[in-house]
Amino acid sequence: MKNLRIAILGTRGIPNHYGGFEHISEYVSAGLVKKGHSVTVYNSHNHPYTEDTWNGVKIQHCYDPEYLVGTAGQFIYDLNCLMDARRQKFDVVLLMGYTSCSVWGRLYPKKSTIITNMDGLEWKRSKYSKKVQQFLKYAEKLAIKHSQFYISDSRVIKDYLENKYQIHSEYIPYGADLFTDQEREQFDTTEALKEDYFLLMARMEPENNIETILEGFNNSNSRKNFKVLGDTGNRFGKFIRDKFKNDTRIQFKGSMFDTAKVRSLQNNSYLYFHGHSVGGTNPSLLEAMASEALIAAHNNPFNKSVLHADAFYFSNANEVQQLVENVQREEIERTMVKNNLFKIAYQFNWEKIVNEYEAFILECYDKTKHERIISY
């Protein structure tokens, strides 16, 4: 088996200080290195991690002017990463998402195998204006045009791409690690009492149904607290804080990237609310499942394709209120938790995910290598 030179582009960098693609890039890059491959992950020069390697992964720092010029800086950053990757002569370039890089599709390294993880229908996100949504549809088409192979992290996305573009994409979801006895002992009773609070963890964006969840809780007669994990510094986050500022039960805890602490809070919550309605297999949902949380999820195909019957579902604030006031942690709830743990162990575990990434990367590389030999 050939050991490949692989580059991962399209993220702000590792270790994860931002979101889903950074999260999976951590695990996949380190996992591929353990299997003997040389892996380079491109990091924003503003990333707090400044070393040149991380767990055997090479880190390539590229200039990122987003902090100066806003969203336009993402396009410049991705261009800088691509131009560097062209000089490096990687065997495989794995692009995580397409939002700000597919416009540079003509500049993708010609002699590298190009694989794009197609993200989760970005143009559906309600935070974007109509013009931005139109651009994202265009960016999606460019990603299809300029990539050779595709990955979907949700079966819903896979079906969408097949129906919309008549292309095959490899279904490879995110992963999670099962909750350990050591983590169980780390619960901090000064932070919270066991099963004495509700919890949600999300970016402050409308499509994550944070307002719906908190409105339902706000209308309830619950005596428990509700902890909200996520940066509320953006416009929508400030709106949410202001709207519910008079409910002393609602506690905004800010962003939290201490994985052990997050998992402990998930494990010990009374009910974990997952409001994401756009995107593929969401990492925070898998973490909650792996952390043995009892889950209430927004009723949509993405969440149902992962949780099936092993969660409570809601579509509006009234249904959230009913769950807050009526869910009892009894036998049926314990069965839900056990079933979700089984999914993590056999369907969404990181070893399996890394193996699937490696197998698909090797398959794609062999196909393009064979095609190049024939063309000569």
Is a pLDDT exceeding 80 seen at residue 24? Answer: yes
Tens of pLDDT, residue by residue over 302-334, are 899 999 999 999 999 999 999 999 998 888 888
Q: At what angle do helices 283-290 and 331-346 cross, to 10 degrees?
A: 120
- For 374, residues 6+ apart whose C-beta sits below 8 A from its C-beta are none
Q: Average per-residue pLDDT in the chain? A: 91
Other CB atoms within 10 Å distance of the CB of residue 278: 19
Q: Residue 8: phi, psi to the nearest 5?
A: -115, 120
Q: Is the pLDDT of residue 172 over 70?
A: yes
Place 126 in a pLDDT band, splitting at 50, 70 and 90. low
CA 13 to chain CA mean position, Å: 13
Sheet arrangement for strand 312-314: 250-254, 225-229, 197-201, 271-274, 295-298, 312-314
Please report the pLDDT score of residue 122 as a whole number: 64
In contact, 274 and 249? CB cutoff 8 Å: no
pLDDT band of 120, cuts 50, 70, 90: low
pLDDT of residue 184: 77
Average pLDDT value for residue range 200-211: 92
Percentage of the chain lying above the pLDDT 90 cut: 72
**366, amino acid identity:** D
Is a pLDDT exceeding 70 seen at residue 72?
Answer: yes
The confidence score (pLDDT) of residue 376 equals 46
Cβ atoms within 10 Å, residue 375 = 6
- Band the pLDDT of 260: cuts 50, 70, 90: confident
**373, pLDDT greater than 80:** no
* Residue ranges of domains in the chain, CATH in brackets: 5-175+349-375 (3.40.50.2000), 181-346 (3.40.50.2000)
63 has pLDDT over 70: yes
Compute the distance between CA of residue 358 and CA of residue 115 in angstroms, rounded to an integer.
12
Window from 50-64, 122-136, 192-206, 261-275 with minimum mean pLDDT: 122-136
Lowest mean pLDDT among 14-18, 53-57, 226-230, 341-345: 14-18
| Dist. CA 113–CA 244, nearest whole Å | 49
| String of DSSP letters for 167-211 | ---EE----BPPPPHHHHTT--TTT--TT-EEEEE--S-GGGTHH
**Is 41's pLDDT higher than 90?**
yes
- For residue 41, the SS3 value is strand
Per the DSSP assignment, residues forming a β-bridge with 126 are none
pLDDT at 127 over 60: yes
Q: For the sheet containing 170-171, what is the strand order?
A: 53-54, 57-62, 38-44, 5-9, 92-96, 113-117, 149-152, 170-171
Of 118-127, 173-182, 222-231, 240-249, the poorest mean pLDDT is in 118-127
pLDDT(91) > 90: yes
7-27 residues labelled b (16+ CB within 10 A) or e (exposed): bbbbbbbbbbebebbbbbbbb
Q: Is the pLDDT of residue 125 over 70?
A: no
Residue 357 has pLDDT above 90, yes or no: yes
Instruction: Give tens-digit pLDDT for 338-347.
Output: 999 999 999 9
Q: Are 241 and 233 in contact (CB under 8 A)?
A: no
Indicate the pTM of the whole model. 0.86
Residue 298: which pLDDT band, with cuts at 50, 70 and 90? very high
Displacement of CA 164 from its chain's centroid (Å): 23
Does the pLDDT at position 375 exceed 60? no
pLDDT the model gives residue 99 = 85
Q: Which of 288, 361, 351, 281 is nearest to 114 (CA)?
A: 361
